[in-house]
Structure 1
């Protein structure tokens, strides 16, 4: 998650633990909603992780990237979402300074890995459509595993330097406070690396993917001119083209809608005299919900994963050699 430049004295004044300002019923509802969203995030991503790991037919380059995305989103559901939503409810950090250090590091690590993995998925889809022969020969599961490992290691080193080496983060804070404060230059660099560059790449590549997919569909229709079943096949082709366009639109739009509000707040708040922290809190909720939505968009809408989920929920995965079952 992008860092926001914060003045320490202002932080202490603003985040001092207030009393509960809502009724008990609202308080309970908020915690029930927090638990439900966190469990949904964990369960959705666990299903994706198990499906890709268990069924050998799903051990493809694209699915390895989906697996990496699910692992990072699972970390959000386990170690970030419950604590951050609790912080929003209580308006106070109640888990102690040690847990604050773990929370911040996992938060930054999971966020950067997730965003960069989505960018790698865009690169994978672009290469698969634009250079199918090169992709089939050069882009193996081993290559994608190496790229995924590099992504995690880069994020690990980058976030360790950002949070601990340069002294931005400290456990010596006011009671009830868990923040990471950096100067505006570091905040902008983080914004550039974690959001602007990967998102620009995602938009450009997915635009090319859409254009290529449309070109392929047009070429297929042209080859069917003398076919007796031309009209019916064209209808199928048109339907597939529309589905591809809709899916690509969902991928990009949902991703940007979830992340963009928070990063806009990160840019605006340090330079604004207005009280925008409540707006930022709402943006954080959308930011976190991206980890809940990702398994639905990238996996559960996929017919292969639907079949694997059916095998899981009917307990057929406990059969002998279930990992070799046909899910395609």
Structure 2
């Protein structure tokens, strides 16, 4: 990050003063760094405890063990790992502008970051499929979306994400980069991921925009069919109508989850596509800001469940009472 604004950067130095091939370090003003450290730390704590609470709430009550909730738990695990493993080193790297954890951990950290992003996208894709059967084909839902199918979806999400996430990072694609990036990769204290590389365009399209297009298409069809479907059911069975309304409410809530995810992550992936087009002139600082905006998505999901799922609020209260009695 080559910044020159006096209100942002106090001075420039080296990540490792004793090494000749050290990367250049931007020293941010304490007026900026202190509140950002506090903000990022609070964000990490909210992500970890929020998603841990979602996991514990669903696991603790047998009646919540449904195929949809298994997918929600698995996605919460992804967000939990993001907050507990990926974000703390990223916080230090963003604010100190240096990577102090070694080359191997840089690759492992980046691979984990991409794996968790891929896993979230695939979970949302499978959730949209689950909602399609629940709303559009309710009579076949329980026979098609079984626990076994849900577990299979979860395994596919994690295995596929791990294979491609770590594969892209550790395969070390030989891609032409700008001179400044080559120097930053060669010096000690640098740790660049995909942004600024042409491979980032392919990654963004294949692993983000294509799945998002599929998800939006499925949900568009769901809401078109659901309106007609509910009218038909209302003419025949009050009980069936109640079930349909419950599924529709769950579908709308999960649509909000998907919408928030897209709002947080789309700007970052758009930069990955635009950067090569504009000859890699997008500032590294903008990438850092957009990445942290994307990370904020992991904070929102537990809040969405708390605001829109009555069963989550009720079970959370019961879980809190149980834990309080134990203490």
Shorter-normalised TM range: 0.7 to 0.9
Alignment pair present for 1:200 and 2:213 = yes
1:43-62 paired onto structure 2 within 5 Å = 43-62=49-68
1:281 to 264, 284, 288: 288
Q: Would the aligned equivalents of 1:53 and 1:59 in 2 still touch at CA under 8 Å?
A: yes
Task: Mark the CA change 1:117 to 1:312 in structure 2 (over 3 Å): closer, same or farther.
Answer: same
What does residue 259 of structure 2 align with?
Answer: 253
What is the root-mean-square deviation in Å for CA atoms of aligned residues? 3.3
Q: TM-score, normalised by structure 2?
A: 0.79
| Distance (whole Å) between structure 2 residues aligned to residue 251 and residue 115 of structure 1 | 11
Deviation of 1:72 (Å): 0.7
Task: Mark the CA change 1:289 to 1:142 in structure 2 (over 3 Å): closer, same or farther.
Answer: same
Q: Would the aligned equivalents of 2:108 and 2:166 in 1 still touch at CA under 8 Å?
A: no
Q: Would the aligned equivalents of 2:51 and 2:302 in 1 still touch at CA under 8 Å?
A: yes
Deviation of 1:78 (Å): 1.0
1:209 to 216, 222, 225: 222
| Distance (whole Å) between structure 1 residues aligned to residue 299 and residue 167 of structure 2 | 28
Deviation of 1:84 (Å): 2.0
| Distance (whole Å) between structure 1 residues aligned to residue 97 and residue 276 of structure 2 | 20
> Unaligned stretches of 5+ in structure 1?
1-14, 228-233, 320-328
Alignment pair present for 1:99 and 2:105 = yes
Deviations 1:54-98 (A, max 9, x none): 211111000010011001111110111222232222222233323
Q: How many residues align?
A: 294
Alignment pair present for 1:178 and 2:191 = yes
Deviations 1:217-243 (A, max 9, x none): 43355569xx9xxxxxx9x99x98996
| Distance (whole Å) between structure 1 residues aligned to residue 214 and residue 68 of structure 2 | 17
Q: TM-score, normalised by structure 1?
A: 0.78
Question: After alignment, is 242-251 or 47-56 more displaced?
Answer: 242-251
Deviations 1:275-307 (A, max 9, x none): 433322221111111112123235663112112
| Distance (whole Å) between structure 1 residues aligned to residue 124 and residue 73 of structure 2 | 11
Task: Mark the CA change 1:278 to 1:185 in structure 2 (over 3 Å): closer, same or farther.
Answer: closer
| Distance (whole Å) between structure 1 residues aligned to residue 63 and residue 79 of structure 2 | 23
Q: Would the aligned equivalents of 1:126 and 1:209 in 2 still touch at CA under 8 Å?
A: yes
Secondary structure in 2 aligned to 1:20?
A: strand
Deviation of 1:211 (Å): 1.9
Alignment pair present for 1:187 and 2:200 = yes
| Distance (whole Å) between structure 1 residues aligned to residue 250 and residue 57 of structure 2 | 23
| Distance (whole Å) between structure 1 residues aligned to residue 97 and residue 196 of structure 2 | 24
| Distance (whole Å) between structure 2 residues aligned to residue 167 and residue 220 of structure 1 | 55
Deviation of 1:150 (Å): 1.6
1:222-301 paired onto structure 2 within 5 Å = 247=253, 250-273=256-279, 274-298=281-305, 301=308
2:157 to 147, 151, 156: 151
